[in-house]
A = this chain, B = another copy of it.
Amino acid sequence: MAVTLKQIAEIAGVSRGTVDRALHNRGRVSPEVAERVRQIAQELGYQPNEVGQALARSRRQIKLGVVLQSAETPTMKIVAQGVRQAAQTLEKQGIEVLFRPIESVDAMRELECLDELLTAGIHGLAIAPADDPSVCERLGQIAERDIPIITFNADLPQSKRMCFVGQDNDRAGRTAAGLMAMMVPQNGTVAAITGHLCNDGHRARCGSFADELSRIAPGITLLPVQPCSDRDDCAYELTCNLLREHPGLSAIYVAANGQHGVCEALRAAELDGTLRVIAYDVTRQNIDDLKQGAISILIDQKAQEQGYRPLMLLRDYLFSGTLPNSEFYYTGITLKTRYNL
């Protein structure tokens, strides 16, 4: 069995409480004793037993708040599942999770929720925020109060958050470009449809895609990126126009929502399965379109983990003072075809 606090205490000739305080720098230990205890712990290779820790801490009632915007969208529903799963795990560890899903993008509503959570006395906050200065500012104020904040799914770099959990959109875009280059003839033509030109994430996915594609496959023609406002009907129109104006089109890159509109347009033209489509996120609808062959490859952002991880990171920070390794905690980029869903 591994080394325990008790053993160290016996060897050092002090009590377990003292060892605990010494090893965790809780103060109220004379420097000499602290040093000796640390020395012994070091030699014995003491590793705190996480199970014991968790059990003991389960008395200390701590609360975490979660705010999630656009909760009605397919991807965010998956993110929310991750939040709930984390909440369940944490509840067993004596941590209460206050979850506030918000419909659509609504900065006002977010501010309200933040106030509620603060009043409820949360010790940490995870938020998938709207890109709005008022939210950013409020988060700054909360951080000043020594309440750790983690943004997820969407970032707010200016907000003094501890870290961001989400996809590396730049890499995701490059990954898409790499796949395109493998699937499309060296002199082919590719179209790109995005959600909003002003959305940071969407821009990153398109910019890096274009950049990488021109670098590794200069022979391929990339048509100008067109925004569809994340709407299927708009994406449908855009796709119809593309097919008309570029009969030799080889593939379409869909950087945000609107995928299904693209698929429908391809079906109408009986080109589904012939034209390659790369899109994002493993949602119900996308799975269907993937299975039916309209989408070739999905790039997944591990939405569930985006909901799960922030809460775990907050716990680790509040319990052990462990900071995330980096300011950016990127969830992996996974590729799905109809065969490996």
Contacts and interface: CB of A to CB of B under 8 A. Distances in A.
Interface of A: 1-2, 47, 49-52, 54-55, 58, 91-94, 171, 174-175, 177-179, 182-183, 276, 296-297, 332-340
Given A51-B58, A91-B2, A335 B335 contact: yes
Among A58, A92, A340, the one with the most B-chain Cβ atoms within 10 Å of its Cβ is A340
Nearest to A332: B340
A299 B174 CA distance: 19
Contacts of A276: 182
Nearest to A52: B55
Given A2-B91, A183-B183, A335-B340, 6 more contacts: A51-B51, A55-B55, A182-B182, A333-B339, A334-B334, A335-B336
Given A333-B339, A334-B340, A92 B178 contact: no
Contact of A171 (B1, B171, B339): B339
Nearest to A175: B339
A98 B182 CA distance: 46
A293 B70 CA distance: 39
B339 A178 contact: yes
B93 A171 contact: no
B174 A339 contact: yes
A171 B340 CA distance: 7
A92 B4 CA distance: 11
B333 A178 contact: no
Nearest to A334: B334
A51 B54 contact: yes
Contact of A1 (B2, B50, B55, B94): B94
23 contacts: A1-B91, A1-B94, A47-B92, A49-B58, A49-B92, A50-B92, A51-B51, A51-B55, A51-B58, A51-B92, A51-B93, A55-B55, A175-B340, A177-B339, A178-B338, A182-B276, A182-B337, A332-B340, A333-B339, A334-B334, A334-B340, A335-B335, A335-B337
Contacts of A332: 340
Contacts of A177: 339
Contacts of A337: 175, 178-179, 182, 335
A174 to B, nearest CB: 5
